[in-house]
Amino acid sequence: MNTIDLYGLLPHRYPYLLVDRIIQMDPLHRVVGIKNVSINEPYFQGHYANNPVMPGTMILEALAQTGYAGLLSDSGMKGRLPLFASLSDVKFRRPVYPGDQLRLEMDILKLRDKAVKMQGRALVEGMVVAEGVFVFGLATQPSGPQIHPTASVHASAILGKDVSIGPNTIIGENVVIGDHTRIEGHVMVERWTRIGANNHIHFGSVIGSAPQDVKYFGEKSWVVIGDHNTIREYVTINRPTGKNEVTKIGSHNLILTSAHVAHNVEMGDYVTVVNQVNIAGHCQIGDRAVIGGMTGIHQFTRIGTGAMVGAYTRLPQDVPPYMLCEGNPATIRTINMVGLRRLGLPRTTLQDIRTIYRVYYQSSKNTTQALAELDSMGIESAEGQLLLAFLKTDSHRGILKRSASDATD
């Protein structure tokens, strides 16, 4: 290997690339390099100016780089980055001067997945000038974003490591995309959008577009998306109305094809939004909610944690946590017992939720009377307290009722 070959293999660059050639290579066993010592090298300017001597640390660095070349030339080491872990038994036998040629020998003593141990020797004219035992940690080398040649990424955008940008995708100004996020082709991520790590955004989606709201006048506002979300084809997510407001999508959510998330929406974690759902502005979606396909949700509506909305529902009012609703217009049908069992909640918690449901929805009491009775019962579980807090919170839209036919069940 010559210097050009080493540039393609090692991360070092002038003036820190200290190996000129590799003259012997047995990958993962032994490697021998050459370093021509020149008075033009910058460290000679201040290291014993009247009697220039190559610093011992630079000799050790040259040996380390030779060892790196022996490691990284093996295909199994692709993407690995050796880093100094320790040095032992280091000895300097004689000085090295400008004009000398260093022969750099590195032999692998032990190789493991996360570390490698090497014996190194530096020689001038057959005489050992330095030697020691090197241990390197084997890290994973960070890689930059992979951007398709037809994609357009604004100069102000910040992309994390291993980000993938597909063909004809447009990334706007002041966009931040976290590590390992994959954005497929023909996606538009507009300005003032922050996307976390390990997300997958599919073909044709539009993220961060201006809100479809007559009250929006171009003020700076944000779409913030968490980690590990899957956003399928043709999903649209609008930024909010109001300066510095946020449309927020949590983490681990699944938003299926052609769903629309409007301005100022707040969505929690582990939410499933099925195909062609329309979520209007200012809605709040709790953790682990499931929204069936073709559902239309009125603005300012709340959907509580663990609730389920059946397909083809017209939802004009709030759905309390752990409830199941459906219909046009929607009504509460029953408790979402399937979802609760999947959460693995204890029997006492399930009993608390059944008690709240019976008193609030199945008794003849009005809302005030039902809540007063529930307060007197001393509900203790966190899930029961969450459901009670939802029922007591002031609501823009009101809380969904049961239908007359269901009330007789």
184 vs 233: CA distance, rounded Å: 9
Q: What pLDDT score does 202 carry? A: 98
Domains and CATH numbers, the chain: 3-140 (3.10.129.10), 146-345 (2.160.10.10)
Answer whether residue 408 shows pLDDT above 70.
Answer: no
pLDDT, tens only, 12-71: 888 889 999 999 999 889 999 999 999 988 888 877 777 899 999 999 999 999 999 999
Determine what percent of the chain is predicted with pLDDT higher than 70: 98
Of the CA atoms within 13 Å of residue 397, those in its CB half-sphere come to 23
Q: What pLDDT score does 142 carry? A: 67
pLDDT, tens only, 76-112: 888 888 899 999 999 999 999 999 999 999 999 999 9
302 vs 319: CA distance, rounded Å: 6
pLDDT, tens only, 237-278: 999 999 999 999 999 999 999 999 999 999 999 999 999 999
- Taken as a whole, the chain contains a residue count of 409
Lookup: tokens for 282 = 């200012």
b/e 33-49 (16+ beta carbons within 10 angstroms → b) = bbbebeeebeebeeeee
Q: How confident is the model at residue 294 (pLDDT cuts 50, 70, 90)?
A: very high
CA angle 69, 35, 20 (to 5 degrees): 60
Q: How confident is the model at residue 337 (pLDDT cuts 50, 70, 90)?
A: very high
Mean pLDDT for all residues in the chain: 94
Answer whether residue 233 shows pLDDT above 60.
Answer: yes
45 vs 190: CA distance, rounded Å: 51
Q: How confident is the model at residue 75 (pLDDT cuts 50, 70, 90)?
A: confident
Q: What pLDDT score does 407 carry? A: 52
Q: What pLDDT score does 405 carry? A: 57
pLDDT, tens only, 135-160: 999 988 767 789 999 999 999 999 99
